[in-house]
């Protein structure tokens, strides 16, 4: 019976053109057109609200409180990749800090997303590098426990495969399957146009949600023929 190696070095990434286009959208727009799927739990948030990231996922799975495999991932990841780390949501010890994140920036990574704790918050703010995490803890990690690189992971409750499109901003992180990403961008264009038109209508005083009465009747809140 064949078994995948713990470290998968070669992955198929979402294209650079798709990443560049996706970076122009809010994570919320992409989440909507993806069927409101693929979003990470709200615990995974940017260190600063202005941080934004987009790129192919370079996935890492670690045991809580151990960052051995993250060091390996930093050495293997390519410029433009986003490290996505399944730290099991643990916040009892930091998995990364200024030193490791500085190395990520120097190697040209697009950003880092950690479903776990990090540390050195003030220095990270000065680093000007997109970092998302589930929290902070001053305690450092161990470097003993094996894990996996570029296997499917679950980070923030979202399934992430190596090479998937990952977009994060002030609202959080959304993951789009690599094969579906190009089609999602066309839908995102329409979504942005529709929302812009709606905002213009609201500015003119049209605040009524035309779909609301039918939805309320379907839910049994309003009787047939009844209106708000």
Spatial distance between the Cα atoms of 79 and 96, rounded to a whole number of angstroms: 19
pTM, 2 dp: 0.93
Task: Answer for the pair 172, 31: CB distance below 8 angstroms, yes or no.
Answer: no
Q: In the chain, pLDDT over 70 holds for what percent of residues?
A: 99
- Three-class DSSP labels, 105-145: HHCCCCEEEEEEEECCHHHHHHHCCCEEEEEECCCCCECCC
pLDDT tens readout for residues 137-160 = 999 999 999 999 999 999 999 999
Q: Please report which confidence band the pLDDT of residue 225 belongs to, taking 50, 70 and 90 as the band edges.
A: confident
pLDDT tens readout for residues 3-25 = 678 999 999 999 999 999 999 99
The rounded mean pLDDT for the chain is 95
Q: Is the pLDDT of residue 1 over 60?
A: no
Mean pLDDT computed over 67-95 = 98
Q: Comparing C-alpha atoms, which of 35, 21, 51, 88 is closest to residue 173? A: 51
């Amino acid at each position: 019976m064949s078994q995948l190696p713990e470290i998968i070095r070669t992955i198929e990434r979402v294209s650079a053109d798709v990443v560049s286009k996706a970076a122009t959208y809010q994570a919320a727009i992409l989440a909507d057109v993806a069927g409101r799927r693929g979003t990470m739990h709200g615990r995974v948030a940017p260190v600063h609200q202005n941080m934004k990231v987009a790129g192919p996922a370079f996935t890492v799975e670690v045991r809580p409180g151990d960052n051995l495999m993250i060091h390996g991932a930093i050495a293997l990841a390519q410029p433009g990749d986003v490290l996505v780390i399944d730290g099991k949501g643990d916040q009892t010890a930091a998995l990364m800090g200024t030193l490791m994140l500085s190395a990520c920036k120097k190697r040209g990574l697009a950003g880092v997303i950690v479903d776990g704790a990090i540390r050195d918050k003030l220095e990270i703010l000065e680093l000007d590098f997109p970092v998302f995490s589930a929290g902070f803890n001053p305690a450092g990690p161990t470097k003993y426990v094996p894990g996996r690189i570029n296997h499917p992971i679950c980070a923030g409750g979202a399934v992430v495969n190596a090479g998937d499109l990952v977009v994060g901003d002030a609202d959080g992180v959304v993951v789009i399957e690599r094969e579906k990403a190009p089609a999602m961008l066309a839908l995102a264009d329409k979504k942005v146009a529709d929302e812009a038109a709606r905002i213009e209508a609201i500015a003119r005083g049209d605040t009524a949600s035309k779909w609301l009465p039918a939805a309320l009747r379907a839910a049994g809140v309003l009787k047939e023929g009844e209106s708000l």
